[in-house]
Amino acid sequence: MEPSKLRSFFMNGAVMCVQLTPFKENEDVDYEGLRENTSFLIEESRGQPLVLTPVGSTGEKYAVTDDEWRRIVKTVVDVANGKVPVVPGASHSGTRVALERAKYAQDVGADGVMIVLPYYHVPEEEGLYLHYKRIADAIDIGVVPYNNPDVSKIYMMPHILKRLVENTDNIVAVKENTPFIPTLYEHIKAVEDKVPILQGRGEWWFAATVFLGVRGYISGYANFMPKLCFELLKAGLNGDYAKVKEVMRKLDPYEDFIKRICRKYGPSTTVLPYPYVSSYMIFAVMKATMDMLGLRGGSMRLPLLNLREEDKRELEKIVFDVLRLEKIK
């Protein structure tokens, strides 16, 4: 898909599903499981605005080898086969390595790449701008900057994003993860007539900020309940806030369970203050949910932890009795 068309696709409203990477018990990548999960998403999203994003943060991209990363990307692109846009995570703290990944994604047929802020060493503003500018200029597919301070300890302010958008042709959307709503709104105002801003923090944050002008959101839940995610997207973009509230109330027990699990498996080792993310046990909960439904969630890779059997039993009741999800036949 041409960058201009992908930008329009996002502008019209989309759910960007950050795919979980299924690992076997020995932590090998379950490529057959990945194919099955991807086929499920394509089948379930017919006629709906879905974008697939393998090997992002939710896909434990930091925990896979370079060879595994390439094979995961190609697997999803091949299964999608043009039916839905594929925008894999192609991030790295070094610009040259991130650029190599972006070129590979382009070569195998991806529609774009998602690039998180360069982590580890802290760049100056000019270095941050040039990181994205060099990558965008070197490829012909779309680029989605992933503005996530939780995982990078840096942040792209609105004036840098505006400069980037004004000086490149293939920035197609921004995955915005600030936990500060006024800053989110500044980003929207800076580029809203040129590039859509997507709510990067999931369903609750989309519900809380859609009235500001975000054009979609990033979802881990879409891995196993995409229909509900599209329902929320449609309600939010149509200003049907009664329906938005209804959907969020339905999710409350699941999200309350995740909060309890994060506390139970703590303490976290983060040094970031509230409201930044302090636990990623949500990934283990989502993988366990997928396994219950007949999808291929699989294991986590260390240093992240799996959900214990005792907690899976409680989760199972929420999944089937509260959310009323059905097993995949």
253, part of any domain: no
Domain that holds residue 80: 3-238
Q: Which of 146, 217, 254, 280 is catalytic?
A: 146
pLDDT at res. 104: 98
Total-model pTM: 0.97
Tally of domains in the chain: 1
- The answer as to whether 37 is a domain residue is yes
Cα(4)–Cα(54) distance, integer angstroms? 22
The tokens for 147 are 């503005």
Give the model's pLDDT for residue 192.
87
Nearest CA to 174 among 202, 150, 145? 145
Would 316 be classed as within a structural domain? no
Could you tell me where the beta strands, DSSP code E, fall in the chain?
14-18, 50-53, 112-116, 142-147, 174-176, 197-199, 216-219
| Rounded Cα–Cα distance for residues 72 and 30 (Å) | 10
The strand order across the sheet containing 197-199 reads: 50-53, 14-18, 216-219, 197-199, 174-176, 142-147, 112-116
For residues 256 and 22, what is the distance between their CA atoms, to the nearest angstrom? 24
Tokens of 189: 């105002």
Residue 271 lies inside a defined structural domain of this protein: no
| pLDDT value, residue 205 | 98
- pLDDT under 50 in the chain at which residues? none
Segment 158-203, tens digit of pLDDT: 999 999 999 999 999 999 999 999 999 999 999 989 999 999 999 9
Contact 48, 138 (CB under 8 A): no
d(CA 189, CA 162): 10
**Shortest CA distance to 253 belongs to which of 200, 325, 187?**
325
- Tell me what pLDDT residue 52 has: 98
Q: What is the DSSP string of 241-275?
A: HHHHHHHHHHHHHHHHHHHHHHHHT------PPTT
Task: Say if 325 falls within a structural domain.
Answer: no
**Alpha carbon distance 1, 220 (integer Å):** 23
146: annotated active-site residue:
yes
pLDDT at 255: 98
Residue 257 lies in a domain: no
The catalytic position among 133, 175, 185, 280 is 175
Q: How far is CA 87 from the centre of its chain?
A: 10
Cα–chain-centroid distance for residue 44?
18
Pull the structure tokens for residue 56: 């992002």
Q: Are 129 and 95 in contact (CB under 8 A)?
A: no
Could you tell me if residue 304 is inside a domain?
no
Distance between CA 258 and CA 149 in Å, rounded? 22
Residue 266 in domain: no
CATH code for the domain of 44: 3.20.20.70
Q: Is-catalytic flag, 175?
A: yes
Structure tokens at 247: 């959907």
